[in-house]
Structure 1
Amino acid sequence: MWFGKSEVPVKLQQQLVRPGSQRMNRLEPLFESLQRRPRPEDVAELVLEALGETLRPQEKALLEKVAATSFKRGLHQFSSMLEEFQRPVPPSAQTAKAAELFQEIPKLSTEASADPDQVAALIAQLSATLCKTVGANDFKADRLNEEQRKLAGLDISKRRYNKLFRFLLRFERKLACYQMEQRKYAATRIAKAGLVTLIRWEDFCTSPDAACFIAYYAAARNRRSIFTNQGQASAYDEVAAMLLNRFRQAPVAPSWYAIAQIMPDPDVVAHLENTEKWTLFTDYLAQLEEISSLLQVTWQKSNFNRDSMIVKRGDDSTTWNALAGAWNTVRSGWLSLAYALGMEQLVNEVCLGKVMRLMAADVAAWHRLSGGSLDPDTAVWAALPAPWDVLSGQAICTKVDVETTCKQHGVDPVAKGWIAPKETRQSAPFIPTPELVHGVAVGHPALAAAMKRAGWFSGKTTSRHP
């Protein structure tokens, strides 16, 4: 299963089940937020509206504290940070140009131009008009000469034929690039909030408490990382803990499945039926297979230092870190479900390791100056076979191998999540969402917008100043 294809558009999901009550209507904005990137403060505002009078005084006070800086009631009514994940740019310009060059071919709509399958079908149709095989793009070897064009019934000049051939060559490259960017986009979403975009409306709306927890927790997980030599703010904060506790007091069975898609922790997975566990297990396994193929391609094209995982000039850290984050997120869910299904023997024989992210050189230096050192997990990652090789069967990595390697480098394999899912989950105090410019906190959104335009903290040389 290609996880990029499994993201169902919001409008289509809403058409599956249309809520009739006012309470259900209040859940729709929360459900829509799963496909976007709102701040937790703004989701807290929606939670207040959705739960209304059912909130206890202390619960309402906590949500009011968080929502006090929402866009609806806060001092600043905008943010320099987008509330949507940056989507890949579809080949709309190419489909429009195709309609101009091949006038006998109908023009694709804007919506159809964003569908890789429809674009691929268009390319095949256009290629057929030139008697060209899709993928045969060698300008010297794959073009037809004058005699071959006449035999094929192509009554066009050599110049026009070459122009159309070159266009199709570039069109195919653009589609391939777009498809890869879609896969990276899906990995970015998974790295942040697990399989939250796969949650169905009928599971989401069953319990307002669960719906509010999922939406808030997703928003907290989707926050951008801040430039720091310390850990990032915990997504499971006091608000998320309060909302999950409300659901636990009046649980509804289908909602456990929805929660497990964003929080596949052992205490959540334990509430699933066996059929649900198997369904979710196969979903997570499919995601692992897809992400592992992307990791392998990226690794083979790169020259990362596996021993340190510190970024060098030219390294594509954005792509790698998105894929590494997606792998670790899905791997954790896969482990939880494997143990929940009594498949310890599988983990004993095929123990998939974690993938380390790349660290910026200045952050690494910051760690050293503040008395820190390289994360011990890095040494374990460097010593074990590549997880994509283990998953494909090209390498062997058992649970004993991982335990032995962890012991050699002073790492607790259980506490650090190498051989089993972490059992404990502690809530943290809520931390307001900062206005960020390339990971650096800025006090005012207008100032942040000016700094972005000027290229501050981007790592790029610029002569502009705010």
Structure 2
Amino acid sequence: MSSPTSAQLLHELHATLTLRKRPEDVARLIQDLYAALGSDLDTATEAALAKAAEHSLRNLWHGYTSMWEEFARPVGAQRQLARAASLFTRVPDLPDDTGDDPARIEAVIRRAGEEIGRAYGQNDFGLDRLNRDERAAAGLGEISKRQYNKRFRLLRRMEAKLARLVHEQRRREVTITGKGAFAHTLPYELFATDPDTAAFIAYVTARGYMRSVFTNGRQRQVYDEVAEALFQRLRNHPERTCWYAVAHVHPTAEVLAQVSDQDLTRLLVRWNGFLRQVAGLLEDAWNRHPLERDTMIVRRGDDSSTWNQAAQAWNTARAHWFALLTELGQDHVLDRICPGKVPRLMAADVAYWHRMSGGGLHPDTYVWAELPLPWEVLRGEKECPRSLVEAVCARYRVDPTAGAWTAARPAVEAVAFRRTPELVHGVAVADPLMASALRSAGVFSGKGKRAAAQEWA
């Protein structure tokens, strides 16, 4: 069996931007890429990649991980479309991928609705159905009331399904962006401009996609010694590096200084739009069940999954937005509009663990609790200038600059590489086969026994 070519490996690396591969496995792909290119790696990069790839699935005796290697995908409308094709003459049999495309699903609903004299959005079973005379006038006299009602109910359910699908697809997009920024949006041509650029982006993205660990301390930092070694290769050859692509995932001052103002502005506009989208999700979750702002501890009825995904996405987008404004010399905007960070909701048992270990609420929680809500700031309903944020930070002895409340995130030092643990609902388990059994049994989930399910966190 012949070894894969460098082009094949670049495509495989690009595919990982929308998957959830372990950083160790991405490091092994990078090793293979450099081998296919015949590149002579410097000692630091070779050692760093070897340290990570040692634990890749290809190098482990069992070659197995219990964790899903992609983000959970919403269930499409394939079943509903198949049913519509059997009931409506204007709906042909459609390819399976149609069920994941909201625009095509809506087109089917509209086309099928025309067949029974129903307009899109007419979902009231009492008011919007046609009576016998109206059905006859619409040329539906041959369809019995029972058959008409069956078709009407199906289209009503399909519209509800479409709304859920759009919501879940938006949630998935928010989750991926919160963890990996805009890496998943990079087209292959831009990603593969330079192998060193591709290697760095793929590895940093894989690190960002790692799951959260159940802990009373800080989560694992994304930028580690492997990322630092790969980034040093970009520093050594700045003329061939695609800095614009790197800026999608790693918006440090060093990176952004290499990007044109036009490209920086394009990114700024995209992040601005994404901030508004996430603010809408946060507001929806808040309106369904307002949170305990003073503690941010989960209470019964809180949609903690949606909130935490949106909060992480908000903070990621906000960090990029701040960094781009600073590099463009437009950070004076923050003097007028400086929306705060959004904390994640904390489980009560983790909060208790914090207290028992001598800790308490993070000071950022107190700052968040006193600032206007982000969506109110973006809509201009409430003012949140930089001066206000600085005053609140001072009240709770929080450094507004170091804490990234009023400025771009400070540069971070690379941390040591640590092997990715097998997680069952955030709890580390040594053996992946045992992890599969525990997950299927519902252990650590807070629920009864159930089948293993895809994880969003």
For the 8 Å contact 2:223–2:415, the answer to whether it is kept is: yes
User: Is structure 2 residue 113 aligned with structure 1 residue 127?
Assistant: yes
For the 8 Å contact 1:192–1:325, the answer to whether it is kept is: yes
TM-score (norm 1): 0.93
User: Is structure 2 residue 381 aligned with structure 1 residue 429?
Assistant: no
User: Cα 1:355–1:208, aligned 2, differ >3 Å: closer, same or farther?
Assistant: same
User: Is structure 2 residue 357 aligned with structure 1 residue 370?
Assistant: yes
Q: Does the residue aligned with 2:428 lie in a helix, a strand or coil?
A: strand
Tell me which stretches of 4 or more aligned residues in structure 1 moved more than 4 Å. none
Unaligned runs of 5+ in 2: 452-457
Q: Does the residue aligned with 1:34 lie in a helix, a strand or coil?
A: helix
TM-score (norm 2): 0.94
Equivalent runs, 1:53-92 vs 2, <5 Å: 53-92=39-78
Pairing partner for 1:324 from 307, 311, 316? 311
Pairing partner for 2:100 from 114, 118, 134? 114
State the AA in 2 paired with 1:399: R
Q: Matched residues in 1 for 2:221 and 2:347: separation?
A: 21
Pairing partner for 2:399 from 402, 412, 426? 412
User: Is structure 2 residue 284 aligned with structure 1 residue 300?
Assistant: no
Bigger mean CA deviation after superposition, 145-154 or 359-368 = 145-154
Q: Matched residues in 2 for 1:432 and 1:349: separation?
A: 44
RMSD: 1.5
Q: Does the residue aligned with 2:133 lie in a helix, a strand or coil?
A: helix
Match of 2:328 in 1: 341
Deviations 1:330-353 (CA, angstroms, capped at 9, x unpaired): 110001111111112211111111
Q: Matched residues in 1 for 2:65 and 2:206: separation?
A: 15
Match of 1:40 in 2: 23
State the AA in 2 paired with 1:233: R
Report how far residue 458 of structure 1 moved: 0.7
User: Is structure 2 residue 275 aligned with structure 1 residue 288?
Assistant: yes
Q: Matched residues in 2 for 1:266 and 1:130: separation?
A: 60
Q: Does the residue aligned with 2:423 lie in a helix, a strand or coil?
A: strand
Q: Matched residues in 2 for 1:37 and 1:462: separation?
A: 26
For the 8 Å contact 2:48–2:229, the answer to whether it is kept is: no
Deviations 1:234-268 (CA, angstroms, capped at 9, x unpaired): 11000001100111100246611111101112221
Q: Does the residue aligned with 1:441 lie in a helix, a strand or coil?
A: strand
Identity of aligned residues (%): 43
Match of 1:16 in 2: none
Report how far residue 463 of structure 1 moved: 9.4
Pairing partner for 1:269 from 256, 268, 278? 256
Q: Matched residues in 2 for 1:192 and 1:463: separation?
A: 27
Pairing partner for 1:359 from 339, 342, 346? 346
Q: Matched residues in 2 for 1:80 and 1:377: separation?
A: 35
Count of residue pairs the alignment pairs up: 444
For the 8 Å contact 1:42–1:70, the answer to whether it is kept is: yes
User: Cα 1:60–1:113, aligned 2, differ >3 Å: closer, same or farther?
Assistant: same
Report how far residue 24 of structure 1 moved: 3.7
For the 8 Å contact 1:203–1:254, the answer to whether it is kept is: no
Q: Matched residues in 2 for 1:175 and 1:43: separation?
A: 35
Equivalent runs, 1:94-105 vs 2, <5 Å: 94-105=80-91
For the 8 Å contact 1:204–1:210, the answer to whether it is kept is: yes
Match of 1:310 in 2: 297
Equivalent runs, 1:238-249 vs 2, <5 Å: 238-249=225-236
State the AA in 2 paired with 1:197: H
Q: Does the residue aligned with 1:54 lie in a helix, a strand or coil?
A: coil
Deviations 1:292-345 (CA, angstroms, capped at 9, x unpaired): 111111111123111111111232111110000001001100011111111122
For the 8 Å contact 1:196–1:218, the answer to whether it is kept is: yes
Match of 2:454 in 1: none
Deviations 1:272-309 (CA, angstroms, capped at 9, x unpaired): 10111111111111111111111111111123111111
Equivalent runs, 1:5-16 vs 2, <5 Å: none
User: Is structure 2 residue 221 aligned with structure 1 residue 234?
Assistant: yes
